[in-house]
A and B are shown apart, each in its own frame.
Chain A
Amino acid sequence: MATTYEPIATNTLGSAAASITFSSISSAYTDLKIVFVGTATAALYAKIQFNGDTAANYSYIGMYGDGTTAAAWSGSGVAFIAATPTFQTFTTTPTMFSTNVFSYGGSTYKSVLNSVSMDKSGSGISANNVGLWRNTAAITSITILTSTSTFAAGTIATLYGIKAA
């Protein structure tokens, strides 16, 4: 039976950390998927960068609902893809996002599809966004980082590999 959906690596934080990095990502898959569920030691949002690129080579566009308003959100010429909305922080309530990274080993720019689940019992957000990294290099590392402060101990991030064949 073909193995099409495999855990590549998982990181469960034993102590608070400002970032989680998956490095030396194998080129053996077609697509990647990140599943994150975690909390934070202070109000923050989460970001994604590829291959350690901290330059303004990223953009994203999405839609969200905050319980009252359904609206669009975006960022262009920025140094990250927003994994959670930049205008809606989380702390002690578990927040989930899942990020599909398509054709990560290809030689074209890299696109992602991200969904965010951040209900905080009376506040919070449901959001989806697409992102672009304007770089033709194969993705070999992914960093999930905080906007400020740290992810709390117990936060889990897993990277899965998906094979088309």
Chain B
Amino acid sequence: MANTYNLIASNVLTTATASVTFSSIPATYTDLVLRISTRVDRAINGPHNCQLTVNGSATSDYSQTNLAEFGVTINSTRASAAAFITTASTGNSTTANTFSSNEFYFPNYASAANKTLSLVDVVENNSAADFESAIAARAGLRSNTAAITSITLNTNGYNYMVGSSFYLYGIKNS
């Protein structure tokens, strides 16, 4: 039986923490999928920007192109020569028990090519106000040929709240 979609590691928070790292990621898969559900302890209605880095590197070789909708506003933005990939989490003034959902897809993560990344963020807040909810489709790139062996998410000065969950899967194409 094919064993295509395997859980590599998970972390469901029982204490608030500023960052979560998956390390020692094996090179035995073709692609990686990271699915997270998070809320950050910043007192803000709507999305708070968190940061993703790989291999413990915050050098300025990350870039991304974003297509986002915030309830009313639709826009596209870009970051180049950045030290991280931006991803949105739910802030802590939003509707109780509400967590964002995010999926990161890293194809060919162990290759010797630059690394592309597909990311979808969903922050829904039962609010009609602009910038209090968001859906974003992000194209990311790390201009670095090293295989991805670790992935870190951090809150940029805050904490992921208890109940936030992080699941890393490996996908084999054969």
Whether a CB of chain B sits under 8 angstroms from the CB of A5 is: yes
Interface-facing stretch out of B16-24, B51-59, B75-83, B125-133: B75-83
Given contacts A6-B4, A37-B116, A95-B116, contact A119 B137 (CB under 8 A): no
Q: Are B114 and A119 in touch, CB under 8 angstroms?
A: no
Interface range on chain B: under 10, 10 to 19, 20 to 34, or 35 or more? 35 or more
Chain B interface mostly: strand
Nearest A residue to B75 via CB reads A70
Contacts of B78 in A (CB 8 A): 67-68, 119, 122, 124
Contacts of A95 in B (CB 8 A): 116
Interface-facing stretch out of B41-49, B62-70, B158-166: B62-70
Interface-facing stretch out of B7-15, B88-96, B138-146, B148-156: B138-146
Q: How many Å lie between the Cα of A10 and that of B64 in the bound state?
A: 28
Q: Are B143 and A67 in touch, CB under 8 angstroms?
A: no
The residue that B105 contacts in the complex, of A5, A69, A94, A98, with Cβ under 8 A, is A98
Q: Are A117 and B66 in touch, CB under 8 angstroms?
A: no
The interface on chain A, measured as residues whose beta carbon lies within 8 A of the other chain's beta carbons, has a size of 39
Contacts of B118 in A (CB 8 A): 96, 98, 115, 117
The residue that B113 contacts in the complex, of A68, A128, A154, A160, with Cβ under 8 A, is A154
Listed A/B pairs (13) with beta-carbon separation below 8 Å: A5-B4, A65-B66, A66-B65, A70-B67, A70-B74, A94-B113, A94-B141, A115-B118, A118-B65, A118-B116, A119-B63, A122-B78, A124-B141
